Chains A and B, each alone.
Chain A
Amino acid sequence: METFIHQVVAGIATGGVYASLALALVMIYQSTHHINFAQGEIAMFATYMAWTLINAGVAYWLAFICTLLLSFSLGVLIQRIIIRPVENAPVLNIVVVFIGLLVILNSIAGWIFTYTIKAFPSPFPKEPPFGLYFISSHELGSICVTMVLLLLLYSFFKFTPLGLAMRAAAQNPDSSRLVGIRVGWMLALGWGLAAAIGSVAGMMIAPVVFLEPNMMSGILLYAFAAALVGGIDSPGGAVLGGFIVGILENILGAYVIGTELKLSVALVLIIVVLTIKPAGLFGKVIVSRV
C-alpha cells in the first residue's frame, strides 16, 4: 500500500510537469492551430540556461526567475523571427519548420553543452518533508511549483485585460483587430509564455531525468498524450490530462508493464484517444459543413 501511494504521488509530481508542457502546447495550438514539436527542446534549452546560471554561482531561485525571463524572450524571438514569416504557409511547411527548430535546438545544446549527462540541482531538501515516507521533498516541491504556476496563469488569463486580449486574439483575430488588439504581438506573447511555462517543466523534471540534450523527448511525448487526453483546445483539460498521464504511467510502470515499457503508455494513449475520442475529454468537437 505504501509503495502504491508513493507511485501515485510520484505520478502527480511528474504529471504536473507533463501538465505544464501540455499547457504550453495547448496555448500555441489555440491561437494558431499548430502543434509546436519544438516545445520540449525549448524547455531543454531553457534548463541548460538555468544550469549555466547556477553553475556560475547564481542562487537557485534567482536563476529560476532569470530562466523564466530568458525563455520568455527566446519564445518571443522565435515567433517573431522564425514562425511569423511562415504563419500563413500550408500546414506541412510549418510542421517542417517546427521539426527543424527541434533538431537545431537539440544540436546547438549538444554543441555548446556536450552530450554528457549532467546533474541538475533540486531546490528542495534531500530528506522527505515532515517525516513523510511516501513523498520526496522534490516531488512535493515540484507539485507546489506547478500549482502556483497554473494558478498564476489562470488569474492572468481570467482577470487581466491583456489576458483577455490574448484569449480574444486566439479566438477571433479579425474581430480582435477591430477592437484594436495587436494580434501579431499577442501571438508572440503566447509563444513567450509557452516557452516560460516549458522552462519550469524542464527545471522541475531535470533533477529526476538528468540534464542532457535529449531529456525532453520522452517528456514531450507524455505532454502530447496529456494534451490529447484533455482535449487539444482545452487548457484545463490539458492540465488534468497531464496528471492522468503521470499517474497512469507510474502505476502501469510499477505494477503492469515494467519501467522499460513506460513510454509506450503515452503512445498507446495517443492512439486510443485519436481513434475513440479525438476531441479528448474536454475538447470541442469541430463539425464543418462541406
Chain B
Amino acid sequence: MSRMLLEVKDLFAGYAATEVLHGLSMKIEEGSITTLLGANGAGKTTTLRALCKMIKVRGQILFDGQAIEGKATEDIVRLGVAHVPDGRGTFGSLSTEENLQLGSYTRKDKHEVALDQEKMYSYFPRLKERRNQQAGTLSGGEQQMLAIARALMLRPRLLLLDEPSFGLAPLIVREIFDIMQTINQNDKVTILLVEQNAAMALDLAKYAYLLETGKLVLSGLSEDLKQDQAVRRSYLGH
C-alpha cells in the first residue's frame, strides 16, 4: 500500500451520554476513494463528524502524519479537510455564488479561487444558471451539487462525503458519482464516502470498510467486499 493520508487509531466518540464509536481504527490511502458502509445507526455519520472534530473524541487521528484530534474544526479545515455533511449544510439564505465564496474563505490566492469557481461551474453547469439564486430555493440535487462544489472550493486534500445520494433521483445520483470520479482523478482529491447505495459506492471506491455498531467488522478492496457473502446479503440484496 502506498502513503496514508489519514490514520485513525482506537477512536471513541459520541453524543452526550451515548457513545457511538467504540474504538474505531482505519486508514485512508492518499489519492484513493474509500467507502464506509454500514446500516443505519452504525456510526458512519458520527465517524465523519469525529474526523473533523464536530464532536468530542478520544483516540488518535493522524492527518498526513500530524495529530489532529486536539484541533478545532476550523483548524482541521485549514489543513485541507472538507466535509459535506448530511443534510448538505448549505447556507439557505445566501446565494449560490456566496456559498461558493464561503468555501474558499480560508484561501488567500484570489486569482486561483476565481479559476476554481469557474471550474465548479463547469463541473456543475446548473449551478452557474442559479448563481444569484438563494441556495435555499435550489432543488435537492442542486443543493447537493452546491454542497460538494463548496467543499471543493477549499481545494481539499481529503473530502468527506456524507450520503451524497440521499433523497435524489437516480439520474442525479449518477451525475454526482461521475463528478466524484473526476475530482478524484483530475484534482487528486482523496475521498471518504459514506453511502447508503452500497452497490454504487463499491463500484466507485477502491477500498471499503464495513461498520457495525461503532466498530469496523470488515475492510479491504471493494472488489473483495463485493464478493463477501455477508455484504452481499445485507447491503447488495443478492
Contact = CB atoms under 8 A, between A and B. Distances in A.
Interface of A: 161, 164-165, 167-168, 171-172, 174-183
Contacts of A179: 77, 102-103, 105-106, 150, 154
A180 B105 contact: yes
Contact of A171 (B78, B85, B93): B93
Contact of B83 (A167, A171, A176, A178): A178
- Considering the complex of A and B, which 7 residue pairs feature the smallest CB-CB distances, nearest first? A175-B89, A180-B106, A180-B77, A177-B73, A179-B102, A179-B105, A178-B83
Given A161-B105, A175-B85, A176-B102, 17 more contacts: A164-B98, A165-B102, A165-B105, A171-B92, A171-B93, A171-B94, A172-B91, A174-B54, A177-B73, A178-B54, A178-B82, A178-B85, A178-B89, A179-B154, A180-B77, A181-B74, A181-B102
B94 to A, nearest CB: 7
Nearest to A181: B105
A167 B52 CA distance: 22
A143 B94 CA distance: 30
Contacts of A168: 91, 94, 102
| Interface of A: prevailing SS | helix
Interface of B: 52, 54, 72-74, 77-78, 82-83, 85, 89-94, 98, 101-103, 105-106, 150, 154
B201 to A, nearest CB: 22
Contacts of B103: 179
Contact of A164 (B73, B102, B106): B102
A283 to B, nearest CB: 13
B73 A178 contact: yes
Given A161-B101, A161-B105, A174-B54, A180 B90 contact: no
B34 to A, nearest CB: 20
A175 B90 contact: yes
Nearest to A284: B93
A183 B73 CA distance: 10
A168 B91 CA distance: 7
A171 B102 CA distance: 13
Contacts of B154: 179-180
A175 B88 CA distance: 9
A11 B90 CA distance: 41
Contact of B74 (A161, A164, A171, A177): A177
A177 B54 contact: yes
A286 B88 CA distance: 21
A164 B101 contact: yes
A182 B74 CA distance: 6
